Structure 1
Amino acid sequence: MRPCDERTVHRLVVCRLSGHRRILTPSPPWVKLAVGPGRDSLHYRGSVTDTAASPLAPQTERKPIARTHHGDTFEDPYEWLRAKDDPAVIAHLEAENAFTQARTAHLSGLREQIFTEIKGRTLETDLSVPTRQGQWWYYGRTVEGSQYGIQCRAPIASPDDWTPPELAPDAEVPGEQILLDANVEADGHDFFSLGSFDVSEDGTRLLYGVDVAGDERYTVRVRDLATGENLPDEIPGTFAGAGFSPDGRFVVYTTVDEAWRPDTVWLHELGTPVADDVKLFTEPDERYWVGAGFTRSRRYLMIEVGSSITSEEWLVDADDLRSEPRVVWPRREGVEYSASHAVVDGHDVLFVLHNDGALDFELVRVDASDPQGERSVVLPHEPGRRLLDLDTFRDWGVAAYRREGLARVALLDYADGTLREVGFDEPLYSVGTAGNPEWAPPLVRLGYGSFVTPGTIFDYDVATGELLLRKRQPVLGGYDPADYAQERVWATAQDGTRVPVSVVWKRSFGDAGAAPRALHLYGYGSYEHSIEPGFSVARLSELDRGVVFAVAHVRGGGEMGRQWYEDGKLLAKRHTFTDFVDCARHLVEAGYTTPDRMVAEGGSAGGLLMGAVANLAPELFAGILADVPFVDALTTILDPSLPLTVIEWDEWGDPLHDPDVYAYMKSYTPYENVREGVRYPRILAVTSLNDTRVLYVEPAKWVARLREVGADAMLKCEMVAGHGGVSGRYNAWKERAFELAWLLDVVGLPA
């Protein structure tokens, strides 16, 4: 199973089986309600803050605690910060916030200016492109001054109506019904996140799951859409992605164990006590996560079990949900697969995407009644073409794959297995299916974008091959894509491997590389997650000031296929870090920037990358921005009681039981490798108190250790938020404005 296997359940896209310590960046070009990691997204020697009047950093008390493994003892002076309920810990975090606020007070005007720029470029009152489901068009509204979206629907004109209505924000929509106003639901809460959203197939009931703490534990409620009243059914403590059964009688949901691992699938019959819910499936092996969702055909409930390298799927007939699940293929260590239901020549079949003897995956077809029987190869393994997913519809499929570092989509003909690829003109772009809940539509909804092209919605006419433009994200203030340029360059790694680097800049400042400029270098490099060319309104505030933005597509990600990922994990993890350093050196040597004008950024597992490169090559960067950084990796991966640890042994190795893995991880984990006698870049670490994926204690300890060696390091901890940061669009804009103002200050650019 892929690290983030996305399935559209009505209008909700859920990251299933993915608890990985990672962050989705930059945002995809199409709008999703994404459950899982997510946030969009320079040591200026001689900074104006380097004065005698600067506030003093908090003094973190040392309370050494010895940890011994494989004959090696490490004394950790700051592990006491893990005690989240200790008032002294909260006081310390608040002191860190006060210090960061005081230290950046001179940037308040710039922060406000950037926030105003983001706000001024955004059409605050807007609507999404309607998606047809059943007898309704479903769409979302945003309203100026409101933090959250409003989910709406309007009736279709006729059964043959597949052209979405063109809605104007200031015009009345005939028959419009508000399903959920998140601003109302969020009232009285400092944090609000929607983790499940589903409408019953007959359109009479709404299911939604809400988290008001940031810990990704959702309470599911059901609303009667005729009366607007909630039913007595209320299910607390669920994971994301709950949904209705096709007949609307049941809710299928997942719960987590004490280590925050989704391990059990439940069946709740509406109108009955939650205590009577039926356990459909439970997975005892703590290396595996569990998820569930109905096939687009609504023929089966698919229960999915997966680790980072192994997967297994089970089918339950949708018309008999209490029946015994039957396995598609029994799990085999190291074999990943995902199955999609279709009907071909009147027979129920499963298209199975797998890597059994096929590094970049192969697609086969099997009989749904006997999935372990004869396999018919549909798309053979082709080195360099990494098959990612197959969306099955009644008459054809849509294959997603990567080739030459870019995402692709193509129509799959069930009859002969041929692919019809959808082409685009830009050299760098991202594309994927988005919002296709219907089983037999004549159109496929696609989301498209690039570093310079705002998020775009197309409908692809299957019969004619025509791309129908439905909407392009409006960017106010006279934005013209022609004013900006993007390109891909190649750096050479230490072992001779060519590493792609994407670069975007504003043309009025001259060609990138013609003269050194301030440069913002982003990286991730874990879980086979690819950083796609995506548009960002907030990024314009740095591009318009002359900053060049670049992405280093380092090994450990998925940009160049499965081998690219394999070469950046486990005992090859150092490639991720050295690739990033080599990309930075290339950008300097090629004339794009200089070390005193380059800032690096990464989040979550990309924050581990930031900590590692700060230790490896501090002289290359002026600043490092680390969002929810996984910088105390060894401590975390040694503790199987912590969320995500056991399942992550497939990604990092098992240092608890393997001394070689322990030694390897200890050689790079940022917290334990902070160096004496070097000048670190300026560092800003951003975290959240209720983050379940990367605990706040990791950056808190890291910042304290950095200060011990004289580094200029700051910590900003959101006291009511989770892994994705603050909730609400205005809050998110302010957060990004804070980070970008700090970045501009580091590189010494004027407001």
Structure 2
Amino acid sequence: MKTLHIIFILSLIFATSCKKDTMTTSDTKIKPPVAVKKPTNLEKHQDIRVDDYFWLNERENEEVINYLKKENEYNEKMTSHTKEFQDSLFQEMKSRIKEDDSSVPYKLNGYWYLTRFEKGKDYPIYTRKKESLDAEEEILFDCNKEAEGHSYFRLSGLNISPDNKLAAFGVDTVSRRKYTIQIKNLETGEIYPERIETTTGGSTWAADSKTLFYTKKDDQTLRSNRIYRHVLGTPVSEDVEIYNETDDTFYTFVYKTKSKKYIVIGSSSTLTSEYRILKADDPTGEFKIFQPRERNLEYSIAHYGDHFYVLTNVDEATNFKLMKTPEKNTSKENWKDVIAHRDDVLLEDIEIFKEYLVVSERNNGLNKINIKRWDNTADYYLPFDNETYTAYVSTNPDFDTKTLRYAYNSLTTPNSVIDFDMEIKEKVVKKEQEVLGGKFDKSNYVSERVWATAEDGVKVPISLVYRKDLKKDTGNPLLQYGYGSYGSTIDPYFSTVRLSLLDRGFIFAIAHVRGSEYLGRSWYEDGKLLKKKNTFTDFIACSKFLIDKGYTSKDHLYAMGGSAGGLLMGAVVNMAPELYNGVIAAVPFVDVVTTMLDDSIPLTTGEYDEWGNPNEENYYQYMKSYSPYDNVTAQAYPNMLVTTGLHDSQVQYWEPAKWVAKLRELKTDNNLLLLHTNMEAGHGGASGRFEALKEVAEEYAFLLDLESINN
């Protein structure tokens, strides 16, 4: 999550029964920065937009950096009265976390792998033990040591060679998601001199433990567009380009099937996919196209025996179906149904074992895990008994096992990692997340799912959690969270940090708006492209419902979203600002039209199927009608905290910076408007687990301060 900031109060008494008069620049002598207006005409389709703050996209311009620093200084001054409270919140949240924690080990190719943390340290330590958990621990990477000297550090794509002797890994020290891949000899500890720059961080070994396939990114757009083959001990400059994805609306990736038999190159856009396969023991061979791409044909593949299993939307299977095809005849005319399409069940994923097929589904918004024997002697679902839970298949690298590992949590129940014997139908909880401090009792909290009615009559689900002793119908403070894009579903999940809000009287709500796949694929289709506004109106409908039903009031309702969820925040504060006392917009995608017209910006071209291509006039006009930056107007806005990262590769820092500058110019209220730019980080915020908590503490202090809660 991202940082936030708060209002500076000299001496003001707030009445809890009415909307509080928040601090303004006229209440204090602290003046906010004013961005210089330098009008730039942006013309498309004979329409001219005047962008007074277009110059803020000059990342290397000292004037831009100085402006961002002034906004940070303003934020610091306006929130200085909450610094002790922020520290208290940070310590409180940290105290619930088991610092010397470790993951549940999993076995792969003769070794048990686990990740652990040491007390007081921010970064993970990756280890393994040979054959037995009682064996001597071998430290693969201590990221605490690796991170020394870096303000940001992330290790990604850890990949062990088939002979267990080498580890390929990617490192990012800028937070731009441009990883450098290196190779470590696990027997000697030597890190080889090869440095493969500007990659995704991920890679996969061929069967010979000498050949490594990896994905390069375009240096400017950061699109993953090329697959290379590297041979151990040879210069990186001699690496062979295996595949070049020339369609700039697609990205590409490479991986190995669970069976270890095939190397797979995938190409994907929002609506279309394509795969190429090569036997892992023939790394210099030629990849074969599995099924040529067709517009709107999506599929993914898993190998088992002499067949591939294909999860696909072919033949208008909107919610997807499962098919299979011989490994030597993979084009779609050979695909045969295994699990037919169902109108009311979204088929999300599969996990293949020697004797079992495990299917992840979603029905009426709820996760389902279906277990089937290949010989058809068993077919059943794991039992889950409430409406606000999250369950998902976890790490299962072992093919020849009867044990399924899955995870379960809910809004009131900490996460559990569970091993389930698929034959005798018995489960063993391998680990339940510990909530330290001695104060947490899950029986003190209650969750529920309610349904709002959107303006077009559609029912929109909301997941809620709050303390059992909370008195309803009293206008409680409520934080409503939303995302609603890319088909990404925010499931009801447990959070130890969220307890700091719940225990201070807040209700937490997740609005499952259209644009996600919470209610199936059609739920996503109804919240994208020329139906995108459904996402925003759904969120507003949820807010009105929560107010009408007495969960909260306009004076105590808060909204939060990040990235595309930040776009959601920008849209709703333009459309219904009167509903919210405060809004947090983290790394918000708010300058939709300008960004989508600039194909040099990372990720833009791959987004056309999500938002539309504004080079086409109908999409241009529709985007313009909701783009938060283009629709800022002279009206009152809620108290707002906006966050960004200077090195963000997904939502460039200048989008929120421009948005805040324009809001300052036009808004008619005296409410707080804060911009915090993390000058060291990117889209994901701070890299250390405790540094990230400090950012959450800032966000919570912003909300709590608006409620006059300071302890």
Bin of the TM-score, shorter chain as denominator length: over 0.9
What aligned pairs does 1:194-343 form with structure 2 within 5 A after superposition?
A: 194-257=155-218, 258-343=220-305
Q: Please state whether the residue corresponding to 1:97 is helix, strand or coil.
A: helix
Q: Structure 1 residue aligned with 2:603, among 644, 648, 656?
A: 644
Q: Structure 1 residue aligned with 2:321, among 362, 365, 388?
A: 362
Q: Name structure 2 gaps, 5 residues minimum.
A: 3-17
Worse-matched range after superposition: 401-410 or 61-70:
401-410
Counterpart Cα distance in 2 of 1:54 and 1:555: 44
Worse-matched range after superposition: 425-434 or 114-123:
425-434
Counterpart Cα distance in 2 of 1:92 and 1:51: 21
Question: Which residue number in structure 1 is paired with residue 662 of structure 2?
Answer: 705
User: What is the identity, as a one-letter code, of the residue corresponding to 2:694?
Assistant: K
Whether 2:443 is the aligned partner of 1:482: answer yes
Q: Please state whether the residue corresponding to 1:508 is helix, strand or coil.
A: coil
Cα contact 2:366–2:387 (8 A) shared by 1: no
Q: Can you list the C-alpha shifts for 1:385-430, whole angstroms capped at 9, x where unaligned?
A: 0001112222222211111101222223333497421112233211
Whether 2:670 is the aligned partner of 1:670: answer no
The offset of 1:748, in angstroms, is 2.8
Cα contact 2:129–2:138 (8 A) shared by 1: yes
Cα contact 1:622–1:681 (8 A) shared by 2: yes
Counterpart Cα distance in 1 of 2:699 and 2:124: 24
Counterpart Cα distance in 1 of 2:707 and 2:624: 32
Counterpart Cα distance in 1 of 2:172 and 2:575: 39
User: What is the identity, as a one-letter code, of the residue corresponding to 1:115?
Assistant: F
The offset of 1:438, in angstroms, is 1.8
Q: Please state whether the residue corresponding to 2:624 is helix, strand or coil.
A: helix
Q: Please state whether the residue corresponding to 1:178 is helix, strand or coil.
A: strand
**1:348 and 1:417, CA in 2 relative to 1: closer, same or farther beyond 3 A?**
farther
Question: Which residue number in structure 1 is paired with residue 479 of structure 2?
Answer: 520
Cα contact 1:49–1:103 (8 A) shared by 2: no
Question: Which residue number in structure 1 is paired with residue 32 of structure 2?
Answer: 57
The offset of 1:589, in angstroms, is 0.2
Question: Which residue number in structure 2 is paired with residue 113 of structure 1?
Answer: 88
User: What is the identity, as a one-letter code, of the residue corresponding to 2:315?
Assistant: D
Cα contact 1:364–1:375 (8 A) shared by 2: yes
The offset of 1:518, in angstroms, is 0.2
Counterpart Cα distance in 2 of 1:192 and 1:694: 20
Q: Please state whether the residue corresponding to 2:192 is helix, strand or coil.
A: strand
The offset of 1:244, in angstroms, is 2.2
**1:201 and 1:220, CA in 2 relative to 1: closer, same or farther beyond 3 A?**
same
Counterpart Cα distance in 2 of 1:181 and 1:46: 49
Question: Which residue number in structure 2 is paired with residue 541 of structure 1?
Answer: 500
What aligned pairs does 1:219-618 form with structure 2 within 5 A after superposition?
A: 219-257=180-218, 258-343=220-305, 347-372=306-331, 373-416=333-376, 419-478=379-438, 479-510=440-471, 513-618=472-577
Q: Please state whether the residue corresponding to 1:608 is helix, strand or coil.
A: helix
Whether 2:640 is the aligned partner of 1:683: answer yes
Whether 2:591 is the aligned partner of 1:632: answer yes
Question: Which residue number in structure 2 is paired with residue 162 of structure 1?
Answer: none
Question: Which residue number in structure 2 is paired with residue 6 of structure 1?
Answer: none
What aligned pairs does 1:14-93 form with structure 2 within 5 A after superposition?
A: 45-47=20-22, 52-93=27-68
The offset of 1:661, in angstroms, is 1.0
Counterpart Cα distance in 2 of 1:348 and 1:742: 55
Cα contact 2:412–2:445 (8 A) shared by 1: yes
The offset of 1:204, in angstroms, is 1.4
The offset of 1:242, in angstroms, is 1.6
Counterpart Cα distance in 1 of 2:307 and 2:560: 48
Cα contact 2:299–2:310 (8 A) shared by 1: no
Counterpart Cα distance in 2 of 1:436 and 1:688: 35
User: What is the identity, as a one-letter code, of the residue corresponding to 2:55?
Assistant: W
Q: Can you list the C-alpha shifts for 1:672-726, whole angstroms capped at 9, x where unaligned?
A: 10121x2100111110000000000000000001111235311100011111111
Q: Please state whether the residue corresponding to 1:683 is helix, strand or coil.
A: strand
Question: Which residue number in structure 2 is paired with residue 18 of structure 1?
Answer: none
Counterpart Cα distance in 2 of 1:174 and 1:341: 33
Q: Structure 1 residue aligned with 2:123, among 142, 148, 155?
A: 148
Counterpart Cα distance in 1 of 2:195 and 2:286: 26
**1:441 and 1:201, CA in 2 relative to 1: closer, same or farther beyond 3 A?**
farther
User: What is the identity, as a one-letter code, of the residue corresponding to 2:76?
Assistant: Q
Cα contact 1:350–1:371 (8 A) shared by 2: no
Question: Which residue number in structure 2 is paired with residue 9 of structure 1?
Answer: none
Q: Please state whether the residue corresponding to 1:744 is helix, strand or coil.
A: helix
Counterpart Cα distance in 2 of 1:682 and 1:508: 29
Cα contact 2:645–2:681 (8 A) shared by 1: yes
Counterpart Cα distance in 1 of 2:213 and 2:139: 24
User: What is the identity, as a one-letter code, of the residue corresponding to 1:336?
Assistant: E
Aligned pairs, how many?
A: 690
Counterpart Cα distance in 2 of 1:645 and 1:458: 40
Counterpart Cα distance in 2 of 1:418 and 1:639: 53
Q: Please state whether the residue corresponding to 2:469 is helix, strand or coil.
A: helix
Q: Can you list the C-alpha shifts for 1:18-62, whole angstroms capped at 9, x where unaligned?
A: xxxxx99xxxxxxxxxxxxxxxxxx96323567622521001000
Counterpart Cα distance in 2 of 1:125 and 1:50: 45
Q: Please state whether the residue corresponding to 1:240 is helix, strand or coil.
A: strand
Cα contact 1:239–1:255 (8 A) shared by 2: yes
Q: Please state whether the residue corresponding to 1:509 is helix, strand or coil.
A: coil
Counterpart Cα distance in 2 of 1:252 and 1:85: 34
Q: Please state whether the residue corresponding to 1:239 is helix, strand or coil.
A: strand
Cα contact 2:174–2:647 (8 A) shared by 1: yes
Counterpart Cα distance in 2 of 1:54 and 1:413: 71
Cα contact 1:292–1:302 (8 A) shared by 2: yes
Counterpart Cα distance in 2 of 1:396 and 1:403: 22
Q: Can you list the C-alpha shifts for 1:132-185, whole angstroms capped at 9, x where unaligned?
A: 11221111111111110101111223xxxxxxx5xxxxxxx6401111000111
Cα contact 1:598–1:747 (8 A) shared by 2: no
Counterpart Cα distance in 2 of 1:115 and 1:696: 26
Cα contact 1:316–1:325 (8 A) shared by 2: yes
What aligned pairs does 1:161-180 form with structure 2 within 5 A after superposition?
A: 174-180=135-141
User: What is the identity, as a one-letter code, of the residue corresponding to 1:692?
Assistant: S
Q: Please state whether the residue corresponding to 1:242 is helix, strand or coil.
A: strand
Q: Please state whether the residue corresponding to 2:193 is helix, strand or coil.
A: strand
**Structure 1 vs Structure 2: percent identity of aligned residues?**
39
Q: Please state whether the residue corresponding to 1:109 is helix, strand or coil.
A: helix
Cα contact 1:379–1:417 (8 A) shared by 2: no
**1:441 and 1:97, CA in 2 relative to 1: closer, same or farther beyond 3 A?**
same
Counterpart Cα distance in 2 of 1:66 and 1:405: 45
Q: Structure 1 residue aligned with 2:698, among 706, 729, 738?
A: 738
Q: Can you list the C-alpha shifts for 1:219-244, whole angstroms capped at 9, x where unaligned?
A: 11111111111122221211132232
Cα contact 1:391–1:399 (8 A) shared by 2: yes
Q: Please state whether the residue corresponding to 1:431 is helix, strand or coil.
A: strand
